[in-house]
Amino acid sequence: MTDAALADRPAVTLSDRAAKRVARIVAKEAPGTVLRVSVAGGGCSGFQYEYNLVQETPNEDDLVLQKGEATVLIDSLSLEFMGGAEIDFVDDLIGQSFQIKNPNAVASCGCGTSFAV
C-alpha cells in the first residue's frame, strides 16, 4: 500500500501478546508462513473476522504489520473496516483467542469474531 494511502487511514496495531502468539504459531509452520486477517460478510452481526495462515508475499495494497517474528497481512478492503483497530491475544477463563478491538464496530457478538458497523 502506498505511503499516501496508509497516511489517510488510522493505523491498525498488533499488541505484544498477539505478536508473540502469532510467532509461536508460525514457528510450527513452513518457512514464510504469515497470518492474514480479513473481514468477510456473515456472522451473527453482519461481518466477521477471518484468520488464515498463508504462504504468500504481501499484495501491493496489503497493510503489513511486522513485530518480532510475527507478520500479519490485512488487505485494503478489510482495512476499510479495521482502521484504528488493535489486534490482541487474550488468555482468560473463557479460553484463548485473538480479539480485535475495533473502534468502527457499533455492535459485536459475544463470540468476539462478529461485528456490525
44-72 pLDDT, tens digit per residue, is 768 899 999 999 999 999 999 999 999 99
pTM of the model: 0.83
Choices 1.10.3720.10, 2.60.300.12, 3.40.50.300, 3.40.718.10: CATH for 3-116: 2.60.300.12
Q: What is the DSSP string of 32-101?
A: T-EEEEEEEEETTTEEEEEEEEE--PPPTT-EEEEETTEEEEE-HHHHHHHTT-EEEEEEETTEEEEEEE
Question: Residue 6: its pLDDT value, please?
Answer: 47
Give the pLDDT of residue 105: 81
C-alpha closest to that of 77 among 30, 9, 15, 26:
9
pLDDT value of residue 71: 97
* Sequence-distant (≥ 6) Cβ neighbours of residue 6 within 8 angstroms: 63
Domain ranges of the chain: 3-116
Contact between residue 47 and residue 81 where contact means Cβ atoms under 8 Å apart:
yes
Q: Are 102 and 85 in contact (CB under 8 A)?
A: yes
Higher per-residue pLDDT: 22 or 49? 22
pLDDT in tens, 87-101: 999 988 878 889 999
